[in-house]
């Protein structure tokens, strides 16, 4: 049976001293990070869940027939306390987790799953929503109201509101266990980042890294009590940036294996394989209980792709051409190995090292000569903020008076061109042990006309921290990530809807990456690049010749980049297309068989995420949906090509995409939003050109 939060917390009284007890008095209800302590979270969660269930009881206790106002609007307004605490807690457990927060997260995971079930499996509540759904054509709803009603109705049905009592009991148990396993998986990933870090004894083994990178590795070692040694951290993906520079082949192999074999229980370490097998089995069982053949079919039913077959076809249609490109790239790298005077075969840990050599020789671009032109603050201020000002007229003004959850974090007012307020933007750039890998956007406060709330959003990245006193010089990959995450940020900041459930980035998974991927391409536009790509010492703009080489080199190695993504996306769909009795006993064998089945089993180009550390799909909400990045990229590439053809980075273009896409959330069908901006449905042509797979 599930855990009932009402019973658990029925005698709880939330102290007025708890900073979550009331809306924050700070600007736009920004969290009071200077007052929030670990001990505040659990009481606020429990009380928040209790109060929301009382609000649901008030809805079902009404004798008046259901109306949009007394039922749907009441649901939209419910859970204010729970939303406040959840938004802060979910961000901190991702970006600045400690042992206390981890323990609270473990305790709360099943309670939150049960709480959701207590609402969505409430038969009286569903009856009111269903009656509105049945009469929807008579209600004279606006487009947004109609979408909100549809989404609420589908949420109840997809949660199991129509199941019988025994089926609902099983659904509750499954949801509780899935929640526990997802939390465990996320905790394991954070522990694995530390467990799999590579310790280097002799600085000579680090030849090829810059002085700044070596100093940073020494500083990381000192922080971990390993003074005199050097620590190379792994990243969230299979590839590790230092592989492109390290000359010591044995160290490259150690570093690659540390990353690629994490979560497999190697050398007595953490083993995630039992977790993912359990998660796959439970998700498959739940899908069948709900009437779907697989978890993938369940998840994609209300996405743009609609079916796993449609998503899989897009991926597999791309695969042959991408594999052909990879084989040519491999032959090119094998030639580089030979001309370098080496006789070893090309291995996975060699690819990026020799690709960097080839990139330098083919395009005459040396990353160590390029990075000084990409200083973090200049990229942020003169690149990202400058572009958003040119395109949308918005201004970012830093302020120091609001509390933050870590000293690295910066806060900016976001203002319209006339100075009127939009919201707040938090920026958390640097990698740390307490932060999970990757980059993401989240919200502390969602925009809502109904609740009269302005958005407070945060962009979180994992840029390597420079050594003390050194500038933060970032790779070109991190430059595009900054633009990408700002795209998510604007999607939240520009939201202009009434109901919070359809605000900002609350859209289908295969649409949410469109606004962010779209913004990436401004980073390589010459007029934008020349504004932020300035040498951190001299202020000199990046030379035109070097800029041209950087732009040409940005299309290099796209076979590798695309295949590692396709392999991960196909793995995700295959895991989640299984029925309960098809779940394998051996996760590694299943992964290998899947890659072979689709002709993408190239040892030198492993999946971007192998199954045992695939955070997106096992704990990050992207199960069956990792394909969404390239699905959204089709939209993004098509939209960007259209924008360039109609004037480029102009206020008129910015106003149009803001009005038709960025402000809409999911208040209408996402393809309708796209067509309202673009005038037609997208084609894949611009995507192939964007990835350098077609001229």
Which tokens in the block code for residue 25? 């008095």
For residue range 77-104, list pLDDT tens digits in order. Answer: 999 999 999 999 999 999 999 999 999 9
Distances (CA, A) of 310 to 303, 313, 425, 631: 11, 5, 36, 10
Return the residue matching tokens 């796993």.
308
Q: Are 380 and 564 a contacting pair, CB within 8 Å?
A: no
**More confident: 553 or 404:** 404
- Cα(628)–Cα(311) distance, integer angstroms: 8
Residue 4 reports pLDDT greater than 50: no
Tokens 């072979």 locate to 596
> b/e string for 513-547 if b means 16 or more Cβ within 10 A?
bbbbbbbbbbbbbeebbebbbbebeeeeebeeebb
- Structure token digits, residue 292: 């779907």
pLDDT attached to residue 550:
83
pLDDT (tens digit, 9 = 90+) per residue, 488-530? 999 999 999 999 999 999 999 999 999 999 999 999 898 899 8
Contact (Cβ atoms closer than 8 angstroms) between residue 120 and residue 9:
no
The pLDDT value recorded for residue 476 is 87
Scored b (16 or more CB within 10 A) or e, 157-167 reads bbbbbbbeeee
| Phi/psi of residue 37, nearest 5 degrees | -125, 165
Q: Which own/partner contact pairs does 295-300 have at CB distance under 8 Å and 24+ positions apart? A: 295/576, 295/577, 295/623, 295/624, 296/573, 296/576, 296/577, 296/624, 297/577, 298/158, 298/624, 299/576, 299/623, 299/624, 299/625, 300/624, 300/625
Instruction: Determine the pLDDT at residue 675.
Output: 95
What is the pLDDT, as a whole number, of residue 134? 97
> CA-based angle 690:692:695, to the nearest 5?
95
Please check whether residue 240 is in contact with residue 348, taking contact to mean a CB–CB distance below 8 angstroms. no
Confidence class for position 580, pLDDT limits 50, 70, 90: very high
What does the block give as tokens for 451?
A: 């609740």
d(CA 236, CA 254): 16
Give the residue among 463, 476, 379, 389 at the shortest CA–CA distance from 429: 463
**Could you tell me what percent of the chain has a pLDDT over 70?**
98
Q: Name the residue among 255, 251, 249 with its Cα closest to residue 341.
A: 249
Contact between residue 639 and residue 657 where contact means Cβ atoms under 8 Å apart: yes
Q: Is the dihedral of CA 413, 484, 532, 240 positive or negative?
A: positive
- The DSSP bridge pattern shows strands 421-430 and 410-415 to be antiparallel
Mean of the per-residue pLDDT values of the chain: 94
- Work out the number of other CB atoms within 10 angstroms of the CB of residue 345: 10
For 123-134, the pLDDT digits (tens) are: 999 999 999 999
pLDDT-derived band at 12, boundaries 50, 70, 90: low
Q: H or E segment at 456?
A: strand 456-463
* pLDDT recorded at residue 687: 85
Tokens 């007595």 appear where?
268
Rounded to whole angstroms, how far apart are CA atoms 177 and 324?
Answer: 43
pLDDT of residue 546: 87
Question: Quick check: 468 pLDDT over 90?
Answer: no
Euclidean distance between CA atoms 237 and 629, whole angstroms: 15
Token duo for residue 321:
């051409």
The answer to whether the beta carbons of residues 358 and 336 sit under 8 Å apart is yes
- The Cβ of residue 151 has, within 10 Å, a number of other Cβ atoms equal to 16
Q: For residue range 646-664, what is the model confidence (pLDDT) as tens digits?
A: 999 999 999 999 999 999 9
Please tell me what DSSP assigns to residue 71: I
Give the chain's domains with CATH numbers. Answer: 5-162 (1.10.1370.40), 196-268 (no CATH), 308-363+556-690 (1.10.1370.10), 371-547 (1.10.1370.40)
- Residue 343: CA count within 13 A, CB half-sphere: 0
Point out which residues pair with 427 in neighbouring strands: 410, 459
| CB count in 10 Å sphere of residue 274 | 11
If one counts every other C-beta atom within 10 angstroms of the C-beta of residue 138, the result is 8
38 is catalytic: no
Give the model confidence (pLDDT) of 199-210 as tens digits.
999 999 999 999
52 and 84 Cβ atoms separated by less than 8 Å: no
What percent of the chain is modeled with pLDDT above 90? 88
The structure tokens 């080489």 sit at 549
What is the torsional sign of CA 671, 623, 3, 49?
Answer: negative
What is d(CA 255, CA 127) in angstroms, rounded to the nearest whole number? 56
Quick one: pLDDT band at residue 264, thresholds 50, 70, 90? very high
Please identify which of the residues 105, 485, 513, 633 carries the catalytic annotation.
485
Helices 38-60 and 123-134: angle between axes, nearest 10 degrees: 60
Q: If you average pLDDT over residues 107-123, what whole number do you get? A: 96
Determine how β-strand 395-399 pairs with β-strand 440-445. unpaired
Which segments of 165-223 are extended strands (E)?
Answer: 198-200
CB 262, CB 273: distance < 8 Å = no
First to last CA, the chain: 59
Token pair for residue 178?
């899935």
CA distances from 621 to 190, 425, 556, 617, 664 (A): 17, 23, 31, 6, 22
What are the tens digits of pLDDT across the range 563-575?
999 999 999 999 9
**Taking 90 as the threshold, does the pLDDT of residue 554 lie above it?**
no
What pLDDT does residue 433 have? 87
CA torsion angle 397 398 401 405 (round to 10): 130
CA distance 69 to 53: 18
- Confidence band, pLDDT 50/70/90 cuts, at residue 429: very high
Provide the 8-state DSSP code for 416.
-
What is the DSSP secondary-structure string of 314-374? HHHHHHHHHHHHHHHHHHHHHHHHHHTT--PPP-HHHHHHHHHHHHHHHH---HHHHGGG-
- Hey, how many other C-beta atoms are within 10 angstroms of the C-beta on 104? 18
Query: pLDDT tens digits, residue range 202-240?
Result: 999 999 999 999 999 999 999 999 999 999 999 989 999
Instruction: Indicate the pairing of strand 440-445 with strand 410-415.
Output: unpaired
For the stretch 317-370, pLDDT in tens is 989 989 999 999 999 999 999 999 999 999 999 999 999 999 999 988 887 888
DSSP state of 238: S
> For residue 695, what pLDDT is reported?
65
Q: Are 442 and 457 in contact (CB under 8 A)?
A: yes
């Amino acid at each position: 049976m599930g855990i009932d939060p009402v019973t658990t917390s029925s005698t709880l009284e939330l102290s007025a001293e708890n900073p979550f007890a009331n809306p924050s008095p700070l600007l736009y209800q920004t969290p009071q990070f200077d007052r929030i302590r670990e001990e505040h979270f659990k009481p606020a969660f429990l009380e928040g869940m209790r109060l929301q269930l009382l609000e649901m009881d008030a809805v079902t206790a009404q004798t008046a027939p259901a109306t949009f106002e007394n039922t749907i609007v009441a649901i939209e307004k419910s859970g204010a306390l729970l939303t406040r605490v959840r938004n802060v807690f979910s961000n901190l457990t991702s970006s600045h987790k400690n042992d206390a927060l981890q323990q609270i997260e473990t305790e709360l995971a099943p309670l939150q799953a049960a709480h959701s079930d207590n609402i969505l499996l409430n038969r009286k509540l569903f009856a009111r929503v269903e009656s509105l759904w049945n009469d929807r054509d008579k209600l004279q709803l606006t487009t947004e109201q109609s979408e909100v009603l549809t989404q609420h109705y589908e949420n109840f049905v997809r949660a199991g509101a129509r199941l019988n009592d025994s089926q609902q009991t099983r659904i509750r148990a499954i949801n509780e266990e899935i929640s526990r396993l997802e939390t465990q998986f996320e905790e394991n990933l954070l522990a694995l980042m530390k467990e799999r870090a590579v310790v280097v004894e002799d600085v000579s083994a680090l030849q090829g890294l810059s002085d700044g990178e070596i100093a940073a590795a020494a500083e990381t070692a000192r922080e971990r009590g390993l003074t005199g040694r050097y620590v190379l951290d792994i990243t969230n993906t299979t590839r590790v940036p230092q592989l492109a520079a390290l000359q010591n082949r044995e160290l490259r192999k150690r570093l690659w294996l540390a990353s690629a074999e994490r979560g497999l229980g190697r050398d007595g370490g953490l083993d995630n394989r039992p977790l993912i097998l359990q998660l796959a089995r439970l998700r498959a069982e739940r899908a069948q209980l709900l009437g779907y053949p697989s978890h993938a079919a369940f998840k994609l039913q209300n996405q743009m792709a609609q079916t796993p077959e449609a998503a899989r076809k897009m991926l597999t249609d791309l695969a042959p051409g991408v594999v052909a490109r990879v084989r040519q790239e491999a032959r090119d790298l094998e030639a580089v190995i030979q001309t370098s005077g080496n006789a070893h075969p090309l291995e996975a840990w060699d690819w990026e090292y020799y690709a960097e050599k080839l990139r330098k020789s083919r395009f005459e671009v040396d990353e160590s000569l390029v990075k000084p032109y990409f200083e973090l603050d200049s990229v942020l201020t003169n690149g990202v903020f400058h572009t958003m000002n040119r395109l949308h007229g918005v201004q970012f003004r830093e302020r120091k008076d609001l509390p933050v959850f870590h000293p690295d974090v910066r806060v900016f007012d976001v203002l319209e061109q006339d100075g009127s307020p939009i919201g707040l933007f938090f920026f958390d750039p640097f990698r740390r042990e307490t932060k999970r890998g990757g980059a993401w956007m989240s919200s502390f406060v969602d925009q809502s006309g109904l609740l009269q709330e302005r958005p407070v959003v945060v962009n979180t990245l994992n840029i390597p921290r420079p050594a003390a006193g050194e500038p933060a010089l970032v790779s070109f990959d991190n430059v595009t990530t900054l633009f990408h995450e700002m795209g998510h940020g604007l999607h939240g900041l520009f939201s202009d809807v009434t109901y919070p459930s359809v605000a900002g980035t609350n859209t289908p998974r295969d649409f949410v990456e469109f606004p962010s991927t779209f913004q990436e391409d401004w980073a390589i536009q010459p007029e934008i690049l020349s504004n932020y790509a300035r040498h951190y010492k001299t202020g000199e703009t990046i030379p035109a010749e070097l800029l041209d080489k950087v732009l040409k080199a940005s299309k290099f190695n796209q076979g590798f980049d695309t295949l590692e993504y396709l392999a991960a996306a196909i793995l995700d769909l295959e895991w989640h297309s299984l029925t309960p009795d098809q779940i394998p006993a051996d996760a590694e064998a299943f992964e290998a068989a899947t890659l072979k089945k689709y002709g993408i089993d190239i040892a030198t180009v492993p999946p971007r995420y192998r199954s045992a550390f695939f955070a997106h799909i096992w704990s990050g909400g992207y199960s069956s949906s990792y394909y969404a990045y390239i699905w959204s990229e089709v939209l993004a590439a098509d939209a960007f090509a259209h924008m360039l053809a109609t004037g480029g980075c102009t206020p008129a273009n910015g106003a149009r995409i803001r009005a038709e896409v960025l402000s809409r959330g999911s208040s209408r069908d996402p393809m309708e939003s796209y067509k309202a901006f673009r005038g037609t449905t997208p084609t894949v042509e611009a995507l192939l050109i964007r990835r350098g797979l077609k001229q």
